[in-house]
Structure 1
Amino acid sequence: MVFQERTYSVLVVSASAAFDRTVSDLLPRNDFWPVNMVTSCGEARRALLDKEYDIVLINAPLQDDFGMRLAIDVCSTSHAGVLLCVKSALYNDVYSKVTPHGVLTLSKPTSLPMITHSLRVLCALRERLRKLEAKQQSVEERMEEIRLVNRAKWLLIQCLNMTEAQAHRYIEKQSMDTRVSKREVAQDIIKTYGGQTPPGDNPFSSP
Protein backbone atom coordinates (compact mmCIF):
# COMPACT_ATOMS: atom_id res chain seq x y z
CA MET A 1 0.00 0.00 0.00
CA VAL A 2 1.20 3.56 -0.67
CA PHE A 3 2.68 5.65 2.12
CA GLN A 4 0.10 6.96 4.58
CA GLU A 5 0.14 8.95 7.79
CA ARG A 6 -1.90 6.47 9.84
CA THR A 7 -2.29 2.76 10.32
CA TYR A 8 -5.58 0.89 10.53
CA SER A 9 -6.42 -1.21 13.56
CA VAL A 10 -7.83 -4.61 12.64
CA LEU A 11 -9.83 -7.27 14.45
CA VAL A 12 -9.80 -10.67 12.73
CA VAL A 13 -12.57 -13.01 13.84
CA SER A 14 -11.88 -16.50 12.54
CA ALA A 15 -11.82 -20.11 13.71
CA SER A 16 -9.49 -21.13 10.87
CA ALA A 17 -5.74 -21.05 11.46
CA ALA A 18 -5.14 -21.22 7.70
CA PHE A 19 -7.29 -18.13 7.12
CA ASP A 20 -5.46 -16.30 9.91
CA ARG A 21 -2.08 -17.05 8.34
CA THR A 22 -3.24 -15.87 4.93
CA VAL A 23 -4.72 -12.65 6.27
CA SER A 24 -1.68 -11.95 8.46
CA ASP A 25 0.53 -11.90 5.37
CA LEU A 26 -1.77 -9.27 3.85
CA LEU A 27 -1.69 -6.99 6.89
CA PRO A 28 1.81 -5.46 7.01
CA ARG A 29 2.57 -3.66 10.26
CA ASN A 30 3.33 -0.36 8.54
CA ASP A 31 -0.24 -0.24 7.17
CA PHE A 32 -2.28 -2.26 9.67
CA TRP A 33 -1.60 -2.07 13.38
CA PRO A 34 -2.54 -3.32 15.87
CA VAL A 35 -3.96 -6.57 14.50
CA ASN A 36 -5.81 -8.72 17.01
CA MET A 37 -7.23 -12.17 16.33
CA VAL A 38 -10.07 -13.98 18.10
CA THR A 39 -11.94 -17.18 17.27
CA SER A 40 -15.55 -16.56 18.33
CA CYS A 41 -18.36 -14.01 18.38
CA GLY A 42 -18.17 -13.84 22.15
CA GLU A 43 -14.47 -13.00 22.10
CA ALA A 44 -15.06 -10.47 19.33
CA ARG A 45 -17.78 -8.67 21.24
CA ARG A 46 -15.56 -8.45 24.32
CA ALA A 47 -12.68 -7.14 22.21
CA LEU A 48 -14.96 -4.51 20.66
CA LEU A 49 -16.00 -3.33 24.12
CA ASP A 50 -12.35 -2.76 25.03
CA LYS A 51 -11.24 -1.04 21.82
CA GLU A 52 -12.52 0.64 18.69
CA TYR A 53 -11.27 -0.92 15.45
CA ASP A 54 -11.01 0.55 11.98
CA ILE A 55 -11.54 -2.79 10.24
CA VAL A 56 -13.24 -6.01 11.34
CA LEU A 57 -12.70 -9.16 9.25
CA ILE A 58 -15.10 -12.01 9.96
CA ASN A 59 -14.48 -15.48 8.52
CA ALA A 60 -17.78 -17.37 8.77
CA PRO A 61 -18.72 -19.70 10.32
CA LEU A 62 -17.30 -19.13 13.80
CA GLN A 63 -17.06 -21.38 16.85
CA ASP A 64 -20.21 -20.11 18.54
CA ASP A 65 -22.23 -18.55 15.72
CA PHE A 66 -22.26 -18.03 11.98
CA GLY A 67 -21.05 -14.43 12.23
CA MET A 68 -23.67 -12.57 10.22
CA ARG A 69 -25.34 -10.98 13.25
CA LEU A 70 -21.94 -9.92 14.57
CA ALA A 71 -21.13 -8.23 11.25
CA ILE A 72 -24.44 -6.34 11.26
CA ASP A 73 -24.04 -5.32 14.89
CA VAL A 74 -20.53 -3.96 14.33
CA CYS A 75 -21.76 -1.83 11.43
CA SER A 76 -24.71 -0.62 13.47
CA THR A 77 -22.78 0.34 16.59
CA SER A 78 -19.39 1.52 15.31
CA HIS A 79 -17.64 3.23 12.42
CA ALA A 80 -15.54 0.19 11.54
CA GLY A 81 -15.44 -1.20 8.03
CA VAL A 82 -16.64 -4.81 8.11
CA LEU A 83 -15.75 -7.65 5.73
CA LEU A 84 -17.67 -10.92 6.03
CA CYS A 85 -16.19 -13.94 4.25
CA VAL A 86 -18.68 -16.72 3.48
CA LYS A 87 -18.75 -19.91 1.40
CA SER A 88 -19.79 -19.37 -2.22
CA ALA A 89 -22.93 -21.49 -1.78
CA LEU A 90 -24.20 -19.05 0.86
CA TYR A 91 -22.92 -15.87 -0.71
CA ASN A 92 -26.06 -14.60 -2.45
CA ASP A 93 -28.31 -15.19 0.55
CA VAL A 94 -25.89 -13.62 3.04
CA TYR A 95 -25.08 -10.72 0.70
CA SER A 96 -28.74 -9.75 0.40
CA LYS A 97 -29.14 -9.72 4.18
CA VAL A 98 -26.03 -7.83 5.25
CA THR A 99 -25.44 -5.34 2.44
CA PRO A 100 -28.27 -2.99 3.56
CA HIS A 101 -26.42 -2.65 6.88
CA GLY A 102 -23.12 -1.67 5.23
CA VAL A 103 -21.31 -5.01 5.47
CA LEU A 104 -18.92 -5.89 2.64
CA THR A 105 -19.21 -9.56 1.65
CA LEU A 106 -16.57 -11.78 0.05
CA SER A 107 -17.15 -15.25 -1.38
CA LYS A 108 -14.86 -18.16 -0.41
CA PRO A 109 -12.66 -19.58 -1.79
CA THR A 110 -11.11 -16.36 -3.05
CA SER A 111 -7.79 -15.05 -4.27
CA LEU A 112 -5.16 -12.99 -2.48
CA PRO A 113 -5.62 -10.04 -4.87
CA MET A 114 -9.34 -10.03 -4.08
CA ILE A 115 -8.69 -9.95 -0.33
CA THR A 116 -6.17 -7.16 -0.84
CA HIS A 117 -8.68 -5.23 -2.93
CA SER A 118 -11.34 -5.67 -0.24
CA LEU A 119 -8.94 -4.37 2.41
CA ARG A 120 -8.27 -1.28 0.34
CA VAL A 121 -12.01 -0.72 -0.08
CA LEU A 122 -12.39 -0.96 3.69
CA CYS A 123 -9.58 1.54 4.22
CA ALA A 124 -11.27 3.98 1.82
CA LEU A 125 -14.57 3.46 3.61
CA ARG A 126 -12.92 4.09 6.97
CA GLU A 127 -11.46 7.38 5.72
CA ARG A 128 -14.88 8.51 4.51
CA LEU A 129 -16.41 7.63 7.87
CA ARG A 130 -13.55 9.40 9.66
CA LYS A 131 -14.34 12.61 7.79
CA LEU A 132 -18.02 12.28 8.65
CA GLU A 133 -17.07 11.77 12.31
CA ALA A 134 -14.94 14.93 12.26
CA LYS A 135 -17.73 16.91 10.61
CA GLN A 136 -20.27 15.69 13.14
CA GLN A 137 -17.94 16.51 16.01
CA SER A 138 -17.38 20.00 14.58
CA VAL A 139 -21.13 20.63 14.38
CA GLU A 140 -21.64 19.37 17.94
CA GLU A 141 -18.80 21.57 19.21
CA ARG A 142 -20.30 24.58 17.42
CA MET A 143 -23.72 23.92 18.95
CA GLU A 144 -22.15 23.62 22.40
CA GLU A 145 -20.35 26.94 21.89
CA ILE A 146 -23.63 28.60 20.91
CA ARG A 147 -25.30 27.25 24.06
CA LEU A 148 -22.45 28.51 26.27
CA VAL A 149 -22.39 31.95 24.63
CA ASN A 150 -26.16 32.31 24.97
CA ARG A 151 -25.98 31.40 28.65
CA ALA A 152 -23.15 33.90 29.17
CA LYS A 153 -25.14 36.64 27.40
CA TRP A 154 -28.11 35.96 29.65
CA LEU A 155 -25.89 36.26 32.74
CA LEU A 156 -24.46 39.57 31.53
CA ILE A 157 -27.97 40.88 30.97
CA GLN A 158 -29.12 39.69 34.40
CA CYS A 159 -26.04 40.69 36.41
CA LEU A 160 -24.68 43.75 34.61
CA ASN A 161 -27.91 45.09 33.10
CA MET A 162 -26.54 44.86 29.57
CA THR A 163 -28.74 44.73 26.54
CA GLU A 164 -28.52 41.70 24.30
CA ALA A 165 -26.49 43.70 21.76
CA GLN A 166 -24.10 44.91 24.46
CA ALA A 167 -23.63 41.41 25.85
CA HIS A 168 -22.96 40.06 22.36
CA ARG A 169 -20.44 42.80 21.65
CA TYR A 170 -18.76 42.33 25.05
CA ILE A 171 -18.15 38.63 24.41
CA GLU A 172 -16.83 39.28 20.91
CA LYS A 173 -14.50 42.06 22.12
CA GLN A 174 -13.18 39.95 24.98
CA SER A 175 -12.50 37.16 22.53
CA MET A 176 -10.55 39.47 20.21
CA ASP A 177 -8.68 41.31 22.97
CA THR A 178 -7.58 38.19 24.83
CA ARG A 179 -7.14 36.11 21.67
CA VAL A 180 -9.20 33.23 23.00
CA SER A 181 -12.34 31.64 21.62
CA LYS A 182 -15.81 32.93 22.43
CA ARG A 183 -16.39 29.57 24.07
CA GLU A 184 -13.61 30.24 26.59
CA VAL A 185 -14.86 33.80 27.21
CA ALA A 186 -18.36 32.43 27.80
CA GLN A 187 -17.03 29.80 30.21
CA ASP A 188 -15.22 32.50 32.23
CA ILE A 189 -18.39 34.61 32.40
CA ILE A 190 -20.43 31.60 33.52
CA LYS A 191 -17.81 30.79 36.15
CA THR A 192 -17.85 34.40 37.40
CA TYR A 193 -21.58 35.14 37.37
CA GLY A 194 -23.22 31.73 37.19
CA GLY A 195 -23.91 31.51 40.93
CA GLN A 196 -24.92 35.11 41.50
CA THR A 197 -28.46 35.14 40.12
CA PRO A 198 -31.47 33.01 40.94
CA PRO A 199 -32.67 30.72 38.15
CA GLY A 200 -35.08 32.32 35.74
CA ASP A 201 -36.24 32.17 32.18
CA ASN A 202 -33.26 32.39 29.88
CA PRO A 203 -34.39 34.03 26.63
CA PHE A 204 -31.40 32.56 24.82
CA SER A 205 -31.70 28.97 26.02
CA SER A 206 -32.43 26.23 23.53
CA PRO A 207 -36.06 25.04 23.50
Structure 2
Amino acid sequence: MTGDTYSVLLVTKDTKISTLVSAMLFPPMFELSVCQDFNEARRKCDERVFSIVLVDFAEGEGTDFAIDISDASSTILLFAPQEHFDQISYKVEGYGILTLTSPFDQFYFYNMIKVAIAVQYKVQVLSSQTTKLKEKMEEIRIVNRAKMLLMQVKGMTEAEAHRYIEKEAMDTGAKKIAVANLIINTLS
Protein backbone atom coordinates (compact mmCIF):
# COMPACT_ATOMS: atom_id res chain seq x y z
CA MET A 1 0.00 0.00 0.00
CA THR A 2 1.12 3.53 -0.63
CA GLY A 3 1.49 6.48 1.72
CA ASP A 4 -1.87 7.88 0.62
CA THR A 5 -4.71 8.68 2.98
CA TYR A 6 -8.05 7.06 2.16
CA SER A 7 -11.30 8.69 3.18
CA VAL A 8 -13.73 6.11 4.54
CA LEU A 9 -17.39 6.52 5.40
CA LEU A 10 -18.87 3.88 7.68
CA VAL A 11 -22.67 3.75 7.82
CA THR A 12 -23.94 1.60 10.66
CA LYS A 13 -26.13 1.73 13.75
CA ASP A 14 -24.23 -1.24 15.23
CA THR A 15 -21.69 -0.02 17.80
CA LYS A 16 -19.79 -3.33 17.61
CA ILE A 17 -19.10 -2.77 13.92
CA SER A 18 -18.16 0.88 14.37
CA THR A 19 -15.82 0.03 17.27
CA LEU A 20 -14.12 -2.77 15.33
CA VAL A 21 -13.75 -0.74 12.13
CA SER A 22 -12.51 2.31 14.05
CA ALA A 23 -9.84 0.17 15.70
CA MET A 24 -8.63 -1.15 12.33
CA LEU A 25 -8.88 1.93 10.11
CA PHE A 26 -6.96 4.65 11.86
CA PRO A 27 -4.90 7.69 10.80
CA PRO A 28 -2.72 8.51 9.00
CA MET A 29 -3.68 5.92 6.37
CA PHE A 30 -7.44 6.25 6.88
CA GLU A 31 -9.68 9.22 7.56
CA LEU A 32 -12.80 7.59 9.02
CA SER A 33 -16.23 9.20 9.29
CA VAL A 34 -19.03 7.29 10.99
CA CYS A 35 -22.75 7.84 10.35
CA GLN A 36 -25.62 6.10 12.11
CA ASP A 37 -28.28 7.60 9.86
CA PHE A 38 -28.65 6.86 6.15
CA ASN A 39 -30.04 10.33 5.36
CA GLU A 40 -27.00 11.95 6.97
CA ALA A 41 -24.77 9.53 5.02
CA ARG A 42 -26.48 10.54 1.76
CA ARG A 43 -25.79 14.20 2.56
CA LYS A 44 -22.13 13.41 3.26
CA CYS A 45 -21.84 11.49 -0.02
CA ASP A 46 -23.38 14.44 -1.86
CA GLU A 47 -20.87 16.82 -0.26
CA ARG A 48 -17.73 14.81 -1.04
CA VAL A 49 -16.43 11.64 -2.62
CA PHE A 50 -15.14 9.03 -0.20
CA SER A 51 -12.50 6.53 -1.28
CA ILE A 52 -14.34 3.71 0.46
CA VAL A 53 -17.89 3.51 1.81
CA LEU A 54 -18.65 0.72 4.28
CA VAL A 55 -22.36 0.02 4.67
CA ASP A 56 -24.14 -2.18 7.22
CA PHE A 57 -27.11 -4.18 5.89
CA ALA A 58 -29.45 -2.68 8.54
CA GLU A 59 -32.60 -4.64 7.68
CA GLY A 60 -32.18 -3.93 3.96
CA GLU A 61 -31.88 -0.16 4.30
CA GLY A 62 -28.12 -0.49 3.78
CA THR A 63 -28.59 -2.36 0.51
CA ASP A 64 -30.83 0.39 -0.86
CA PHE A 65 -28.37 3.06 0.28
CA ALA A 66 -25.41 1.25 -1.30
CA ILE A 67 -27.25 0.94 -4.62
CA ASP A 68 -28.29 4.61 -4.47
CA ILE A 69 -24.68 5.81 -4.15
CA SER A 70 -23.15 3.23 -6.49
CA ASP A 71 -22.78 5.77 -9.32
CA ALA A 72 -20.14 7.63 -7.31
CA SER A 73 -16.48 6.73 -7.77
CA SER A 74 -16.29 5.35 -4.22
CA THR A 75 -15.56 1.67 -3.65
CA ILE A 76 -18.51 0.31 -1.68
CA LEU A 77 -18.41 -2.63 0.72
CA LEU A 78 -21.73 -3.91 2.05
CA PHE A 79 -21.86 -5.97 5.26
CA ALA A 80 -24.47 -8.68 4.68
CA PRO A 81 -25.82 -11.17 7.21
CA GLN A 82 -24.51 -14.70 6.61
CA GLU A 83 -28.00 -16.16 6.04
CA HIS A 84 -28.78 -13.67 3.23
CA PHE A 85 -25.25 -13.23 1.84
CA ASP A 86 -25.73 -14.98 -1.53
CA GLN A 87 -29.02 -13.24 -2.26
CA ILE A 88 -27.70 -9.78 -1.32
CA SER A 89 -24.37 -10.29 -3.07
CA TYR A 90 -26.14 -11.32 -6.28
CA LYS A 91 -28.42 -8.28 -6.06
CA VAL A 92 -25.63 -5.71 -5.66
CA GLU A 93 -22.72 -7.10 -7.64
CA GLY A 94 -24.08 -5.60 -10.88
CA TYR A 95 -23.68 -2.19 -9.26
CA GLY A 96 -19.99 -2.84 -8.51
CA ILE A 97 -20.64 -3.26 -4.79
CA LEU A 98 -18.43 -5.68 -2.87
CA THR A 99 -20.09 -7.73 -0.12
CA LEU A 100 -18.72 -9.35 2.99
CA THR A 101 -20.40 -11.38 5.66
CA SER A 102 -21.37 -9.86 8.94
CA PRO A 103 -20.16 -10.59 11.51
CA PHE A 104 -16.71 -10.71 9.92
CA ASP A 105 -13.30 -11.67 11.18
CA GLN A 106 -10.59 -9.03 11.23
CA PHE A 107 -8.23 -10.79 8.84
CA TYR A 108 -10.96 -11.13 6.18
CA PHE A 109 -12.03 -7.52 6.68
CA TYR A 110 -8.44 -6.27 6.37
CA ASN A 111 -8.01 -8.19 3.10
CA MET A 112 -11.27 -6.74 1.75
CA ILE A 113 -10.01 -3.26 2.60
CA LYS A 114 -6.86 -4.03 0.61
CA VAL A 115 -9.07 -5.12 -2.30
CA ALA A 116 -11.12 -1.92 -1.95
CA ILE A 117 -7.94 0.17 -2.07
CA ALA A 118 -6.79 -1.64 -5.21
CA VAL A 119 -10.20 -1.15 -6.83
CA GLN A 120 -10.15 2.54 -5.84
CA TYR A 121 -6.75 2.94 -7.48
CA LYS A 122 -8.05 1.40 -10.71
CA VAL A 123 -11.13 3.65 -10.62
CA GLN A 124 -8.93 6.72 -10.29
CA VAL A 125 -6.71 5.64 -13.20
CA LEU A 126 -9.71 4.93 -15.42
CA SER A 127 -11.36 8.19 -14.41
CA SER A 128 -8.19 10.09 -15.32
CA GLN A 129 -8.01 8.32 -18.68
CA THR A 130 -11.67 9.10 -19.35
CA THR A 131 -11.09 12.77 -18.60
CA LYS A 132 -8.12 12.86 -20.98
CA LEU A 133 -10.17 11.19 -23.72
CA LYS A 134 -13.02 13.68 -23.24
CA GLU A 135 -10.57 16.57 -23.49
CA LYS A 136 -9.04 15.10 -26.66
CA MET A 137 -12.50 14.60 -28.21
CA GLU A 138 -13.40 18.20 -27.39
CA GLU A 139 -10.17 19.39 -28.99
CA ILE A 140 -10.93 17.38 -32.14
CA ARG A 141 -14.46 18.82 -32.25
CA ILE A 142 -13.19 22.41 -31.95
CA VAL A 143 -10.40 21.92 -34.50
CA ASN A 144 -12.90 20.37 -36.93
CA ARG A 145 -15.23 23.33 -36.45
CA ALA A 146 -12.35 25.72 -37.17
CA LYS A 147 -11.42 23.73 -40.29
CA MET A 148 -15.04 23.88 -41.47
CA LEU A 149 -15.08 27.67 -41.03
CA LEU A 150 -11.80 28.02 -42.93
CA MET A 151 -13.26 25.91 -45.73
CA GLN A 152 -16.51 27.91 -45.86
CA VAL A 153 -15.15 31.43 -45.35
CA LYS A 154 -11.65 31.22 -46.86
CA GLY A 155 -12.41 28.60 -49.52
CA MET A 156 -9.70 26.23 -48.32
CA THR A 157 -9.76 22.48 -48.82
CA GLU A 158 -9.89 20.27 -45.75
CA ALA A 159 -6.18 19.44 -46.12
CA GLU A 160 -5.28 23.15 -46.49
CA ALA A 161 -7.33 24.07 -43.42
CA HIS A 162 -5.65 21.29 -41.45
CA ARG A 163 -2.18 22.42 -42.53
CA TYR A 164 -3.04 26.06 -41.77
CA ILE A 165 -4.07 25.25 -38.17
CA GLU A 166 -0.98 23.08 -37.59
CA LYS A 167 1.36 25.72 -39.08
CA GLU A 168 -0.20 28.52 -37.00
CA ALA A 169 0.20 26.40 -33.88
CA MET A 170 3.86 25.71 -34.63
CA ASP A 171 4.64 29.30 -35.65
CA THR A 172 3.04 30.82 -32.56
CA GLY A 173 3.99 28.05 -30.10
CA ALA A 174 0.33 27.66 -29.21
CA LYS A 175 -1.75 24.52 -28.99
CA LYS A 176 -3.98 23.60 -31.91
CA ILE A 177 -7.08 24.09 -29.77
CA ALA A 178 -6.04 27.69 -28.99
CA VAL A 179 -5.49 28.42 -32.70
CA ALA A 180 -8.80 26.76 -33.53
CA ASN A 181 -10.65 28.83 -30.91
CA LEU A 182 -9.08 32.00 -32.29
CA ILE A 183 -10.21 31.07 -35.81
CA ILE A 184 -13.74 30.31 -34.56
CA ASN A 185 -13.93 33.64 -32.72
CA THR A 186 -12.58 35.53 -35.74
CA LEU A 187 -14.61 33.89 -38.49
CA SER A 188 -17.97 33.25 -36.84
Q: Same fold per TM (> 0.5)? A: yes
Pick from 22, 25, 44 the counterpart of residue 24 of structure 1.
22
Match in the other structure for 2:116: 122
Match in the other structure for 1:13: 11
Match in the other structure for 2:53: 56
Fraction of identical pairs, as percent:
36
The runs of 4+ residues in structure 1 deviating greater than 4 Å are none
**RMSD (CA atoms):** 1.8
1-side partners of 2:168 and 2:29: how far apart?
A: 46
2-side partners of 1:70 and 1:172: how far apart?
A: 51
Secondary structure, aligned partner of 1:83: strand
2-side partners of 1:147 and 1:185: how far apart?
A: 13
Report the Cα offset of residue 17 of structure 1: 2.5
Q: Counterpart of 2:41 in structure 1: which amino acid? A: A
Question: In the comparison of the two structures, how many residue pairs are matched?
Answer: 188
Q: 1:46-93, CA deviations, whole angstroms, 9 ceiling, x for partnerless residues?
A: 11111112211002217xx53111112222x11211111122222222
Match in the other structure for 2:141: 147
Report the Cα offset of residue 163 of structure 1: 2.4
Secondary structure, aligned partner of 1:66: helix
Pick from 160, 169, 172 the counterpart of residue 178 of structure 1.
172
Pick closer, same or farther for the CA change 1:129–1:3 going to 2, 3 Å: closer
Q: TM-score, normalised by structure 1?
A: 0.83
Match in the other structure for 1:82: 76
Gaps in structure 1 of 5+ consecutive residues: 195-207
Q: Counterpart of 1:70 in structure 2: which amino acid? A: F
Pick from 17, 34, 37 the counterpart of residue 34 of structure 2.
37
1:73 to 2:68 alignment: yes
Gaps in structure 2 of 5+ consecutive residues: none
Q: 1:16-69, CA deviations, whole angstroms, 9 ceiling, x for partnerless residues?
A: 223222212222322223x3221122112111111112211002217xx53111
Report the Cα offset of residue 186 of structure 1: 0.9
Superposed, 1:87-126 pairs within 5 Å as 87-126=81-120
